[in-house]
Amino acid sequence: MSNTQRSAVKGLLEGKKVLVTGAARGLGLEFARNIVQGGGSVVLADILAEQAEAAAAQLREQGYEAHAVALDLNDPASIEHCAAFASKALGGLDGLVNNAGMTHSGGKNLEQIDVDVWDEVMRINVRGTWLMSRACLPALRASGQGSIVNLASDTPMWGAPNLLAYVASKGAIMSMTRSMARELGAGDITVNAVAPGLTLVEATEYVPRERHDLYENQRALQRAQLPDDVSGAVAFLLSGLSRFVTGQVLAVNGGFVMH
The catalytic residue positions are: 166
Buried b (16+ CB within 10 A) or exposed e, 150-188: bbbbbbbbbebebbbbbbbbbbbbbebbbebbeebeeee
Q: Nearest 5°: phi and psi at 204?
A: -110, 15
Mapped onto helix, strand or coil, the DSSP state of residue 217 is helix
Residue type, 114: D
Nearest residue to 254 via CA among 209, 200, 228, 216: 216
Mapped onto helix, strand or coil, the DSSP state of residue 98 is strand
